[in-house]
Amino acid sequence: MDGHEHVPARSARHVFVGGEVRLELHGHHEATAASATVTLGPSFEVGVLALAGAMERLAARIEAAGGVVGHLKAFAEQDGAFVRVSVTDAREPAFVQGDASLVVRGASRLQLVAIVLALAPDAAADEVVRALAGLLGQEGGVS
């Protein structure tokens, strides 16, 4: 992006072994915001520490691709318990606010937002999808 472009919002649906991801992508100037809503499959579960690890790896891949992590933020809820996970620097561990031992189980939702600078929107989206694929298992399709 040349610093003066605006990328219209677009969305995609990705299906994985462990659930479904709806990804919305917005870009403006040198920033891209990728917002993912993850709906877990009925018999799948994700631990908050696994989510934090996936976000740390996502931050490292963004920077390795020449981008800058603006902010990676996730929100998980299970049975009334809420956890937030945040990454602002690929060289620092994820910050977990809430019960880090929480396990999010089937039919629950996770929210993930990635604000990425200096990386093309499609490249930023690819990195988010790659990180979620590592968390949710092999991708089965896109629509």
Kindly give the interhelix angle for 48-64 and 121-136, rounded to the nearest 10 degrees: 150
Low-confidence ranges of the chain (pLDDT < 70): 1-8, 138-143
DSSP assignment letter at 10: E
CA-nearest of 52, 136, 60, 143 to 100 is: 52
CATH topology of domain 6-138: Hypothetical Protein Yjia; Chain: A;domain 2 (3.30.1220)
Domain residue spans in the chain?
A: 6-138
pLDDT in tens, 27-36: 887 899 999 9
Structure tokens at 42: 């009925």
Structure tokens at 27: 């870009």
Global confidence as pTM: 0.88
Structure tokens at 79: 């049975």
